[in-house]
Each structure stands twice: as C-alpha cells, then as structure tokens.
C-alpha cells in the first residue's frame, strides 16, 4: 500500500524549486510581444517552454502545439484511453498592493506568496508531481496520462479551442484549477460590452465628468478606480473623505489645474464571486450619484449605480437561478469613460446557471440599459458544463480525495470557468481545500505549502485511480 502523502513529502524540495522557477515568469498575456511562435506574448511563451523542458527532463513525451498549448504524456496505450490533466500557465495582472513582489516567490509562515501560487501554477506543478509519483512508483497503468498546459485561460481560453481543433481533447480527466473536493458543474458566461447610444456633446452643467477608469479584466473585481471632474468641484472634494469613511474604503481627492482627481481603493476578488470583493468602480460611481453632471456623464454614472452591489442582476432585470448551480452573478470588471466617441464602455461578466436562457438575458438587459441611453455593442458567450454525479470519473476522484484526506468528498458547483469543460467528462479538482481562503486574482495571492503537498498526494492517487 503506497503512502501517497509520504511520497509527496519526500519530493517537497524538488517541487518547490520547480514551482519557484515557474512563478518567477511574469506570464501575463501581452499582445505587444506576441509572435507566431508565442501567440500570447513573450513571457507566456517562456512559461510554456519552461514546463515542456521540465517535463521532458522527467522522461515524458512532449510537444509544443504552435505556442498555444503544450502537452507532456506518460504511456503509449490506445489514444482513446488517454486521461487528461489540464492546467494553465498564464496569470492575471498583479494589481493592488503586495507585501512582497508578486513575481518573486516568498514563503512566510508556511505560505508561498506569488501571482499564480493558487491560480494555477501551484496546482499544475502539484499535478505534475502527482504524475511523477505514479511514474517513479512503477505502478502499472492501462491508460495514457496527458498533462496539457494552456496559455490563455484568463483571457478567453482560445488556447484550448486551438488545441482541441488541432490535436483533439481527451474525454475524461480533471483541471487542477478550483476547489476540493471537486466541482462537477460550472456556470456559463454571458459577457457583454455596453456603450453609449449617443456621442458626447457640449452642455452646460455644474460639474463635468472628464474621465473615469476602473478594472483590468472582467474576471476580476476592480480594486482601484480613478475619476477626473471639472466645474463646481470643491464641494465634492470636501465630502469625499466622509463618504470613504462611511463606506469603509480608502480614497483620496485633490484639485490640480482646475480639475478634481478622485481615487478610490476597494477589494479585489475573482469575478465569479463579486460579493467577496468591493468594486472600486461602482463604489466611486455611488459617490458621484448626486453630482450635477452633464447628460452623458449622468447616464454613465446612473448605469454604474444600477450595477453597484447588484451581485445577482436583479436591478438589471436578468436575475435567474436553478437547483444545480444557483443564482446568476454579475461583475462589472472593465469600466471606462471619456469625452471622445468610443472612449466610454462598461464590460461585465454574468456567470449563468446551467439552465439559463441567454436570449432572454440579452433581451432583458437591452431593455434595461436602453433607459440609460446605452446599448449592447458586443457579447461573448460560453456554455455551462455539467457531469452527471454517477459518472466513473466522479467516483474515482471521490475515492482519491477520501483516501488521502479522510474527509467526505462532497460535490460542488462554481461560477468560475475552467478547462474541465473542454472534456466531455472533465471536472475541476482542487487545489483550494474546504474552509481555506481562495486568493486567486487578489493581491498577496498564496498557497499553503502543506496544502500544496496534500494536493500532490491527492493528484497522485487520482491519476492512478483513473489510469490503472
């Protein structure tokens, strides 16, 4: 009988060394450095090369799939039997205030801090070391195990669509990119861009909104917002400190060259769980709600106010729910206002129940935003994903989790989207444990080292259970 936890502990130093090297690569998508061989940018390409070199040195068969993805395979059985383990190497920008540099991995009090520590470099390395344990233990397998490394998970998952079209995707497997025990159902996504129906015009108003900016990605709750106003601005500046104190947020305002500049700091969170953060953009709009703004500024702020803490889309008229995945959630993640045509837009992500009707959602939203003289100018949709509870892959992963942890392997659902949906019978499996804080997309992202090793043991047991 193999002691999976002991095997993981025996590889602690090697695992942390290899993870450290990966975490030091600032693998944020960067179109400015994109090339044919590195379509997501130079740094993400470097991260993919790192993983393929690392896995090849472990004795795995590797292939770079045109820079969009890569794989490392153990076994030469019938390809139809292949078990997929899908992780991603790209990360979201390291916004906010970090205690230590986000791409200089630092261990404090048993926690490894870095961007990507929990999402998803740490779990991906843990899964790789789980496979390494199986390999080095000489356990007989009847199926291939293929680790697939993606490069565009945080910005649309074009990498996995490319891989699936060019190579073909395993049917069964898991993505180590969420929570334990496992997520068997993921919500779909309805991601619209809202823009004004009319161009800015000159108008007489007491206060003029010149610019507004918050957020970097729709799948992140904006942590910081900036606004510039002109006109009768002194009363606003004088009342801003009291507003921030009342709402328990940090903010600053100053007057320079006849304009007032407001900055507000909220709390970042994953866009699929907006209630866990404080949206700096909609909070700053709440402050500006009573200002005597020009018509286009007033419409923009009014729409943002309708979205403030409207986590389930009730004021937008798109609230819906089902028994499998629960209620729809809304996160306004990219917010811009400017006085030139084309400068103003609000992008948000709605995470939709598996039974949601996207046509109904769009119609409801169009009617609501029309009242603010806005329209839906673009929509990106992604379907939901659901695996039946009695599928063998579910039972196999439950067996692995229960055996290593001794805990009940409850089935979960999520508003987040993972690579699991690219496999017909794929589920999201770890690596955040029940009761632990999920710090993905936040400043000071971390994973507890003991949890990282426990996840490694679980992944080793799971890989063996799936492929034996």
What residues are annotated to the active site?
90, 153
Which region, left, alpha or beta, applies to residue 110 given φ > 0 means left and ψ of -120 to 50 means alpha?
A: left
Q: What is the dihedral of CA 126, 132, 138, 144, to 10 degrees?
A: 90
CB distance 90 to 155 below 8 Å:
yes
Instruction: Report strand pairing: 411-414 vs 182-186.
Output: parallel
HEC profile of 299-332: HHHHHHHHHCCCCCCCCCCCCCEECCCEECEEEE
Distances (CA, A) of 124 to 318, 456, 466: 36, 9, 17
DSSP 433: P
Closest Cα partner for 4 from 467, 468, 459, 466?
A: 459
Residue 136, H or E segment: helix 121-136
| Sign, CA torsion 399/405/406/411 | negative
Tokens 């589920």 — which residue?
Answer: 427
Closest Cα partner for 1 from 467, 464, 466?
A: 464
Task: Give the CA count within 13 Å in the CB-facing half-sphere of 151.
Answer: 34
What's the rounded Cα separation, in Å, for the pair 311 and 321?
A: 13
Beta bridge mates, 183:
412, 428
What's the rounded Cα separation, in Å, for the pair 306 and 321?
A: 20
DSSP 423: S
Distance of CA 135 to the CA centre of its chain: 31
Distance of CA 338 to the CA centre of its chain: 27
Distances (CA, A) of 369 to 117, 187, 264, 271, 284: 38, 24, 25, 21, 20
Residue 400, H or E segment: helix 392-405
What's the rounded Cα separation, in Å, for the pair 40 and 21?
A: 20
Residue 398: which residues within 8 A CB-CB, separation 6 or more? 181, 182, 409
Residues in the chain: 468
Residue 363: which residues within 8 A CB-CB, separation 6 or more? none
């Amino acid at each position: 009988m193999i002691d999976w936890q002991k095997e993981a502990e025996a590889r602690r130093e090697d695992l942390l060394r290899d993870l450290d090297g990966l975490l030091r690569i600032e693998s944020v998508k960067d179109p400015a450095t994109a090339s044919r061989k590195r379509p997501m940018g130079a740094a993400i390409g470097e991260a993919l090369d790192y993983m393929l070199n690392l896995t090849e040195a472990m004795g795995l068969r590797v292939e770079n799939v045109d820079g969009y993805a890569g794989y490392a395979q153990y076994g030469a059985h019938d390809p139809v039997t292949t078990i997929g383990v899908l992780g991603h190497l790209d990360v979201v920008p390291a916004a906010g205030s970090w205690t230590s540099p986000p791409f200089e991995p630092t261990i404090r009090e048993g926690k490894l801090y870095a961007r990507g520590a929990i999402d998803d470099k740490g779990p991906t390395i843990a899964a790789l070391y789980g496979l390494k344990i199986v390999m080095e233990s000489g356990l007989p397998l009847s199926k291939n195990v293929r680790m697939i490394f993606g490069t565009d998970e945080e910005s649309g998952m074009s990498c996995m669509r490319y891989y699936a079209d060019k190579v073909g995707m395993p049917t069964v497997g898991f993505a180590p990119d969420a929570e334990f025990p496992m997520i068997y159902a993921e919500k779909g996504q309805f991601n619209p861009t809202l823009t004004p129906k009319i161009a800015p015009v000159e108008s007489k108003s007491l206060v003029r909104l010149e610019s507004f900016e918050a957020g970097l990605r729709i799948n992140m709750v904006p942590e910081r917002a900036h606004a510039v106003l002109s006109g009768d601005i002194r009363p606003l500046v004088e009342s801003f400190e009291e507003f921030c104190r009342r709402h328990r947020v940090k903010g600053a305002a100053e007057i320079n060259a006849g304009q007032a500049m407001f900055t507000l700091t909220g709390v970042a969170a994953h866009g699929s769980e907006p209630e866990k953060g404080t949206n700096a953009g909609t909070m700053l709009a709440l402050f500006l709600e009573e200002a005597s703004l020009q018509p286009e500024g007033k419409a923009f702020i009014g729409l943002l106010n309708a979205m403030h803490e409207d986590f389930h889309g009730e004021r937008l008229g798109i609230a819906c729910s089902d028994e499998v995945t629960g209620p729809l959630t809304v996160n306004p993640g990219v917010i811009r206002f400017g006085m030139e045509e084309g400068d103003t837009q609000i992008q948000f992500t709605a995470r939709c129940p598996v039974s949601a009707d996207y046509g109904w959602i769009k119609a409801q939203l169009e009617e609501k935003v029309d009242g603010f003289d806005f329209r839906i100018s673009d929509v990106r949709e992604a379907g939901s994903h659901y695996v039946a509870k009695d599928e063998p892959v579910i039972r196999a992963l439950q067996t692995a989790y229960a055996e290593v942890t001794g805990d009940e392997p409850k089935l979960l659902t999520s508003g987040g989207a993972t690579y699991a949906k690219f496999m017909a019978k794929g589920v999201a499996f770890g690596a955040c444990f029940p009761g632990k804080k999920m710090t993905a997309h936040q400043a000071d992202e971390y994973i507890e080292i003991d949890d990282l090793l426990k996840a490694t043991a679980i992944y080793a047991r799971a890989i063996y259970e799936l492929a034996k």
